[in-house]
Amino acid sequence: IPPTAWAPGTGAAYRKFGLRGSSALAVAGVAAWLRLEQRAVRECRIVLGAVHETPFLASRASDAVAGRELTPEILHQAAEIASGECSPISDLRGSADYRRELVQVLTRRALEGASERARSGGSHE
């Protein structure tokens, strides 16, 4: 982890959806880390879990957020991009289409959580 990863103005959050509660395997999960300068996002990383065979860095979605203020429109745009750039697996826990929908919702929620933490002093969840 780079020294600036947990510096003031940074925040991280992870959101997942599982079929049987918090201890269940995730059907989809999204981790978001960002660094704010004033109101704008200077750096952003969005990582998708349980939608590929390995965790996947959603680089286009991350880039769509960087340099911008996290407005509802930007959150929606980033969520759509993340959903579009992943190629979800289908298995007993969920179809590819279902996972793609979950990625949209979880990306928005993870970015909101990371932003709240960055604004509140850099706490992480």
pLDDT tens profile 55-103? 999 999 999 999 999 999 999 999 999 999 999 989 888 999 999 999 9
Q: Are strands 40-49 and 26-37 parallel, antiparallel or unpaired?
A: antiparallel
Which one, of 94, 72, 91, lies nearest residue 16 by Cα?
94
pLDDT at 25: 81
Q: Give the chain's largest Cα–Cα span.
A: 44
**Is the pTM value of this prediction over 0.85?**
yes
Contact 11, 34 (CB under 8 A): yes
pLDDT at 7: 84
* H-helix or E-strand spanning residue 82: helix 72-85
Contact 47, 111 (CB under 8 A): no
Token pair 């590929």 is found at: 52
